[in-house]
Chain A
Amino acid sequence: MFKRQGKKALNYATGLTLYNLLLIGVYPAISQSMVVAELADNLPNSVKRVFGVTSGSGLDCFESYVSTQCLGRVWILVMGVYTISGADALISKLVAQGGMAYLLSSPVGRWQVFSTQIAVLVSGLALMMVLTILGIWAETMFFDIPIKIGSYFRLGVLGLALFSAVGAYSIFFSVLFNEEEFTILSASGLTFLFYILDILVQLNDRFSRLKNLTIFGWVRPQEVLEGEVPTLPTLGLFGIAIIFITFAGYIFSQKDLHV
């Protein structure tokens, strides 16, 4: 199970790293280009916010560039897809297809099977984070761009917390529904809702009160990279993850499994 998920994480992470390589590779050229800087300055603030720029023009420092380009929307999308499909494959799919029948026909308890699946999911996410951050680090070394690795590490932990929370409610839906479609639909629906809320919050100050309603609102890559220590959001997101996982585990240990 670990091996399977590991392969999948590696594939996703390689894709992300190559994507980052492309983006970071062009950074020196972009940052020195007057035209691009002007263009960026002239962009309406709302557009910049949608793309995750929280201060400055977005191109004058590497932190702001990397958080918009590498850790912005595409990264969240890829990680979201990875997390939700992973959570589905680990419980829902196994129950729906019947493979779970074999795992549960052994004298290994449901809690144990469940916690193994959780461990697979979380370690997969951690691997993704490590590879993403390592990738960025290696690429900045290669292109000779100075970074504060500590901030990136903190961002990695925060990212792990964020997607553990996404994974936790996905797992929760995964044990709640017998049909895979419902799992995917509800997990991605909720994630999308959070995501839209996050964009609204960033677009317009009127919505800023909603910031705490979306888990994505707790994660501001640029601020973390610029030195902020995100203790509260990290703990909060891990807390959400633990609550959902506990509920999910309880349901899984009690429910009728038609395998």
Chain B
Amino acid sequence: MIKVEGITKLYANDRGKTKGKETKDIRGIKEVTFRVDEGEVFGFLGPNGAGKTTMIRQLMGFIKPDAGFAQIKGLDCWQNSLAIKALVGYLPGEMNFLEQMSGLEFLNLMSGMHGDRLIFRKRREVLVKRLELNLKQPIRKMSKGMKQKLGIIYALMLDAEVLILDEPTSGLDPLMQKVFIDLVLEEKSQGKTIFISSHMFPEVERTCDRVGIIRDGELAGVEGIQKLRQAQQRTFDIKVEDEGQVQLLRERGLAIVAVNGTELSVQVQGDLNPLLSGLALVNVKEFAQKTTELEEAFMHFYEGEGRF
């Protein structure tokens, strides 16, 4: 559905601009190649400034590639940008609207520009209810989270075949993040193709089938989320009753990375069962999992395979 082949866009005036969003895209992207199949949710993960927004601007036909091409449904994103936009629901990373309008006026304007179909209104009403947004409020009085909701409503109400979402949960509270994840999963179950850029682990982990990671403008690799999850290294902080039990756990061959009296940290890669069966033998006082970022997991994954 989405095909990107050797796309390159470098900025001549490198490091010149330092303020605002320009710093984000300063280096551009180099020879990025990947594809997203129909009905797939693809996560595009990378730190700020890695080139995520630049990639999305390529897909939306806002900027012309220096080399390579991007296609959606076989149409070139720059040359056929009009046809592309009829297929795509887009959520920009920067939540700046036409400030003087109310949410409703904005959505009406955008509906009109997309050809005003009945389904837009139906979907809009459902989305407004689920995201709990007051559309009558002027946009300039909305908080960042409210603007984000408005953007999400716009992108999803169009019932587009392809969704391109740039950091969709930024500014949303945890409850709304969950609502958003549910919405994405529903869209996915309807066969939509979804491209999500993010620097946050949970939204990608819970929604995506495959993840591409971008660093300094280059695509480090693309992997299935299952494989990544397996490779993900988890660290557990455990407190046991006495030091004898620490010794007992050590004898079971667990990767204990730090011990402080009766407290220890254990690293587990993939299968959790060896740890659990070990813990069954001792008296556990405290048990906590340190979460690792997906990116970290990804790096670890590639280091393990010697590809970095």
Of A94, A105, A107, the residue contacting B92 (CB under 8 A) is: A105
- Whether B154 contacts A259 by the Cβ 8 Å rule is no
- Whether A99 contacts B98 by the Cβ 8 Å rule is yes
Is A43 part of the binding interface, using a Cβ–Cβ cutoff of 8 Å?
no
Q: A99-B98, A258-B22, A259-B92 are in contact. Are A107 and B83 (CB under 8 A)?
A: yes
Of B63, B82, B88, B106, the residue contacting A258 (CB under 8 A) is: B63
Is B306 part of the binding interface, using a Cβ–Cβ cutoff of 8 Å?
no
Interface flags for A101-145 (1: CB within 8 Å of B; 0: not) read: 111111111000000000000000000000000000000000000
Q: A258-B57, A259-B62 are in contact. Are A105 and B85 (CB under 8 A)?
A: yes
* A residues contacting the other copy or chain, number (CB 8 A): 20
- Whether A258 contacts B62 by the Cβ 8 Å rule is yes
Complex Cα distance, B60 from A102, in Å, reads: 11
Complex Cα distance, B201 from A162, in Å, reads: 56
Q: A102-B97, A108-B113, A109-B82 are in contact. Are A257 and B62 (CB under 8 A)?
A: yes
Is A246 part of the binding interface, using a Cβ–Cβ cutoff of 8 Å?
no
Q: Which residues of B contact A189 (CB under 8 A)?
A: none
Enumerate B128-177 residues with CB–CB distance to A below 8 Å.
154
Nearest-CB distance from B40 to chain A (Å)? Answer: 21
Nearest-CB distance from A247 to chain B (Å)? Answer: 19
Across chains A and B, the number of contacting residue pairs, with CB separation under 8 Å, is 67
Is A97 part of the binding interface, using a Cβ–Cβ cutoff of 8 Å?
yes
- Whether B92 contacts A97 by the Cβ 8 Å rule is no
Enumerate B47-86 residues with CB–CB distance to A below 8 Å.
57, 60, 62-64, 82-83, 85-86
Interface flags for A1-15 (1: CB within 8 Å of B; 0: not) read: 100100000000000
Q: Which residues of A contact B97 (CB under 8 A)?
A: 99, 102
| Closest residue on chain B to residue A101 by CB atoms | B92
Is A56 part of the binding interface, using a Cβ–Cβ cutoff of 8 Å?
no
Complex Cα distance, B100 from A57, in Å, reads: 48
Q: Which residues of A contact B60 (CB under 8 A)?
A: 101, 104-105
* B residues contacting the other copy or chain, number (CB 8 A): 28
- Whether B110 contacts A106 by the Cβ 8 Å rule is yes
Q: Which residues of A contact B253 (CB under 8 A)?
A: none
Q: Which residues of A contact B85 (CB under 8 A)?
A: 104-107
Complex Cα distance, B98 from A98, in Å, reads: 9
Is A205 part of the binding interface, using a Cβ–Cβ cutoff of 8 Å?
no
| Closest residue on chain B to residue A7 by CB atoms | B100
Complex Cα distance, B94 from A98, in Å, reads: 6
- Whether A4 contacts B110 by the Cβ 8 Å rule is no
Q: Which residues of A contact B304 (CB under 8 A)?
A: none
- Whether A258 contacts B114 by the Cβ 8 Å rule is no
| Closest residue on chain A to residue B20 by CB atoms | A96
Q: Which residues of A contact B86 (CB under 8 A)?
A: 107
- Whether A103 contacts B113 by the Cβ 8 Å rule is yes
Complex Cα distance, B86 from A258, in Å, reads: 20
Is B90 part of the binding interface, using a Cβ–Cβ cutoff of 8 Å?
yes
Nearest-CB distance from A217 to chain B (Å)? Answer: 37
Complex Cα distance, B60 from A98, in Å, reads: 14
Q: A98-B92, A109-B82, A258-B22 are in contact. Are A104 and B98 (CB under 8 A)?
A: no
Complex Cα distance, B114 from A4, in Å, reads: 21
Q: Which residues of B contact A105 (CB under 8 A)?
A: 60, 85, 88, 90, 92
Of B94, B99, B100, B113, the residue contacting A101 (CB under 8 A) is: B94
- Whether A101 contacts B62 by the Cβ 8 Å rule is yes
Is B25 part of the binding interface, using a Cβ–Cβ cutoff of 8 Å?
yes
Q: Which residues of A contact B62 (CB under 8 A)?
A: 101, 104, 256-259
Is B96 part of the binding interface, using a Cβ–Cβ cutoff of 8 Å?
yes
Contact residues of A with B, CB < 8 Å? Answer: 1, 4, 94, 97-99, 101-109, 254, 256-259
Contact residues of B with A, CB < 8 Å? Answer: 21-22, 25, 57, 60, 62-64, 82-83, 85-86, 88, 90, 92, 94-100, 106, 110, 113-115, 154
Q: A98-B21, A98-B94, A104-B60 are in contact. List 20 more A-B contacts (CB 8 A).
A: A1-B98, A4-B100, A94-B98, A97-B96, A101-B60, A101-B92, A101-B96, A102-B92, A102-B97, A102-B98, A104-B62, A105-B60, A105-B90, A106-B114, A108-B113, A256-B64, A258-B57, A258-B62, A258-B63, A259-B57
